Structure 1
Amino acid sequence: MHLVETADRNLSAYDPYIDDRRRQTIREAADELAGERIGHVNSTASGGGVAEILHALVPLSVDVGVDVDWYVMDAPNEFYTVTKTIHNALQGDRAPFLDEMRETYRRVTRENAADLEEEYDTIVLHDPQSLGMAPLLAERFPETTLVWRCHIDLTAAATPYLEFVRSFLDPIDHTIVSRSSYGERLSDVAQTVVHPAIDPLTEKNCPLEELPDNAPDSDDYPFETDRPLIVQVSRFDPWKDPLGVVEAYRDVAASIPDVQLVLAGGMPDDDPEGMEVYREVAAETENDADVHLLTDLPDAGINVLQRSADVVLQKSFREGFALTVSEALWKETPVVGSNVGGIPLQIDDGTNGYLVEPNDVGAAADRTVQLLTDDELRPQLGRGGRETVRERFLLPRLLEDYLTIVVEEADS
């Protein structure tokens, strides 16, 4: 494993987004954790929602006086192939689970657990990739509180894979999930529901006028700003249904011929499937000049894209949370999202966007057409979206949640 360096964050910079009660709770929790050490472990430092959260959460925790480190696992490509299969199966796929896959997982997670030299009072293991470290960590550091943060929707998990995950839970003292239903098939370990959150001060989410002078703008991208624009920002992943997005766009184009589509996604280090899906979508859309596939945009570019969009789609089949929904809502861009996982936690149907069933391409297209053709409705829902995120899905609330859980575990 190796430590991740993070840029400084200051709680005072978030004053416009923190009320007095939250500020007081954060300060009191930080005071109670004086002298305590916390470590976070995940599988990648870039390219996914977990890494994004930790790049903000870790330094902000340090700023309020808590000693926090972040480690990323060292692993070969075969490990990420296995963990991607595990991830897919926990979301409902039914791929075979071979003995050699189990052995690769156990070997790599034990090697990483053995590499940890520092002692911590609390270690937070993120998602299935790092969970396998728990037994050896518990053996080496018996006084350490182990927390598993599961960001995945487990409600349709394939039984062999779920049982494999559960086999590592005995040493876990506390589990954090994004919805209570995600933890129903886990063990009786203490559980807390914590919703992810976005950082309003990053280049991805700040006002465009606060971006650096060399940041990209809409002229740097192939879409035309004076024509209707649909955007989906997601990894190129079958669960995000990019081909379904293309199908919905084509239905919209039948009514609005000058509509454009952008599919923008990163290629995370721990997702070997991404390039395969990208090529499939590229082949499907290669003859359509109004469909643009963009990869690995800088955060400022995602900001520009989400603000340029008239409608953002999040047409997922499974979704642990979907931070991209909160990102778009924060920018007052209405979202049409699937009624799955964490998306309905963020979208109040008809108030800040619309929910459709994940397989209903026609409904997704109809709602998109409705938004594109109603110049009063779009800003109305956009304002509702920003207020939803302000109240529930910004970083200071997430900091409060994490510190509170660690305090409760330290006191138990």
Structure 2
Amino acid sequence: MHSPAPPARSIAAYETLTDRRLLERLATLAATLEDVRVLHVNSAASGGGVAELLRSIVPVCTDLGVDTDWLVIDAEESFFEVTKALHNGLQGDATTLTDEMKATYRAVTERNAATIDEAYDLVVLHDPQPLGMVEPLMETMPDTTIVWRCHLDLSAPASEPLAFVSNYMEHVDHAIFSRAAYETTVPVPSSSVIHPSIDPLAAKNEALDDATVAAESEQLAPISFDTPLVTQVSRFDPWKDQLGTLEAYRRLTDRIPDAQLALVGSMADDDPEGGERHEQVAATAATDPDVHVLTDLSDTAVNVLQRQSDVVVQKSLREGFGLVVSEALWKRTPVVGSTVGGIPLQIEDGRNGYLVEPDDVVGLSRRVEQLLRNDVRRLEFGQYGREVVRERFLLPRQLAEFLTVVADLVSRPS
């Protein structure tokens, strides 16, 4: 396993962005945890939402005085092929896990667990990839509380992957889900619901001066910011349905011919399907010069693109939460998103964006058109969207809820 080096973060830097009482609550919670050691384990140091969360959570917890480490599992591509199949199955694909796949999963997770040679009071295993570490960790750290943090959409899991995960969940002390609807899916002694959050100080979300916006905008050529621009930012993954977004855009251009579409995505370290999906989307869009398929942009470039876009789309078929919605709303850009996962928790239909059914290409196209044709509505939606994110989806709120759970768990009798 290896330990990423997240950027430095100070809780004091959030004073102008969130309620002072929340920061005081965080300080009080942290004081009760000064002797507690916490470890987060996931499968990627970059390229995915979990890695983005941990790059902020870990250093802020450290600054608060909560001893917090972060480890990323080391594995071969064959392991990530198994865990991607498991990921897809838990989100609804009819996935079959062969004996060989299960053996690969067990071997890699047990091998990684054996490399942890320090003691922790609480270990958080993020998503299915490191979940197989739970039993060996119980043997080496019998007094440690083990938490599974699930970031997936568990609304309709396939039976075989669910059974595989459930075998491990029997040994977990507590689970944290992103939506209450997921809590009853797997057997756990206790669970909590914590909505994820964005970090307003991260490069992807921080305030930018005019010079930076101008310079980054120039680098994004041939995208033009003088004609309507619709953007979707998400991993290149079938669940994000970039092809459906492309179809909706082509319907849109029948009525707004000068509209552009940017499909922006990253390649997660633990997703072996990402490259193939990117190639498929790029090939489908290749005949249209106003469709821009972009990957591996800097966080600052994504920040500028979300700010400069007229409308952001999130046409997911399944979605654990979908923090790219809050990213766009924080920048006062209205969002049209699917009625799946955590997206409806962020979009108030008709107030900061619109909600459409995940397979409603026509409805998506119409809602985007309505926003593009109404400058006043876009402005009003954008202003309200930023306030929604400020109140509900910024990092200090998530940290306060997480540390509350930690304080409760470590105070329970063994």
TM-score, length basis structure 2: 0.97
TM-superposed CA distance for 1:17, in Å, is: 2.4
Structure 1 residues 129, 188: closer, same or farther in 2, change over 3 A? closer
Q: Deviations over 1:28-51 (max 9, x none)?
A: 111111111100000001001100
Aligned to 1:220: 219
CA contact (8 A) 2:18 2:390 kept: no
What SS is found at the alignment partner of 1:34?
A: coil
Structure 1 residues 292, 7: closer, same or farther in 2, change over 3 A? same
Aligned to 2:401: 401
Q: Deviations over 1:142-179 (max 9, x none)?
A: 00010100000111100110010010012211100000
TM-superposed CA distance for 1:195, in Å, is: 0.5
Aligned to 1:203: 203
**Alpha-carbon distance in structure 2 between the residues aligned to 1:341 and 1:352:** 18
CA contact (8 A) 2:125 2:147 kept: yes
**Alpha-carbon distance in structure 2 between the residues aligned to 1:336 and 1:285:** 21
CA contact (8 A) 1:41 1:125 kept: yes
Aligned to 1:258: 258
What SS is found at the alignment partner of 1:3?
A: coil
**Alpha-carbon distance in structure 1 between the residues aligned to 2:341 and 2:393:** 16
Aligned to 1:326: 326
**Alpha-carbon distance in structure 2 between the residues aligned to 1:214 and 1:22:** 31
Name the count of aligned residue pairs: 411
TM-superposed CA distance for 1:215, in Å, is: 9.2
Aligned to 1:145: 145
The list of structure 1 runs, each at least 4 consecutive aligned residues, that deviate by more than 3 angstroms after superposition, is 213-216
CA contact (8 A) 1:215 1:300 kept: no
Aligned to 1:33: 33
Q: Deviations over 1:335-359 (max 9, x none)?
A: 0000000100100100110000000
**Alpha-carbon distance in structure 2 between the residues aligned to 1:301 and 1:17:** 22
Please report the RMSD computed on the Cα atoms of aligned residues, expressed in angstroms. Answer: 1.2
Equivalent residues in 2 for 1:196-345, closer than 5 Å:
196-209=196-209, 216-221=215-220, 222-345=222-345
TM-superposed CA distance for 1:210, in Å, is: 8.3
**Alpha-carbon distance in structure 1 between the residues aligned to 2:46 and 2:213:** 22
Structure 1 residues 214, 373: closer, same or farther in 2, change over 3 A? closer
Q: What amino acid sits opposite 1:46 in the alignment?
A: S
**Alpha-carbon distance in structure 1 between the residues aligned to 2:213 and 2:386:** 27
Q: What amino acid sits opposite 1:248 in the alignment?
A: A
Equivalent residues in 2 for 1:167-206, closer than 5 Å:
167-206=167-206
Q: Deviations over 1:35-75 (max 9, x none)?
A: 11100000001001100010000000000111000000000
Aligned to 2:74: 74
In the alignment, structure 1 segments of 5+ residues that lack a partner are none
CA contact (8 A) 2:95 2:161 kept: no
What SS is found at the alignment partner of 1:351?
A: coil
**Alpha-carbon distance in structure 2 between the residues aligned to 1:292 and 1:210:** 24
TM-superposed CA distance for 1:216, in Å, is: 4.9
What SS is found at the alignment partner of 1:378?
A: helix
TM-score, length basis structure 1: 0.98
What SS is found at the alignment partner of 1:364?
A: helix
Q: What amino acid sits opposite 1:261 in the alignment?
A: L
Aligned to 2:101: 101
TM-superposed CA distance for 1:95, in Å, is: 2.4
Q: What amino acid sits opposite 1:5 in the alignment?
A: A
CA contact (8 A) 1:216 1:301 kept: no
CA contact (8 A) 2:233 2:263 kept: yes
Identity %: 54
TM-superposed CA distance for 1:20, in Å, is: 3.3
What SS is found at the alignment partner of 1:185?
A: coil
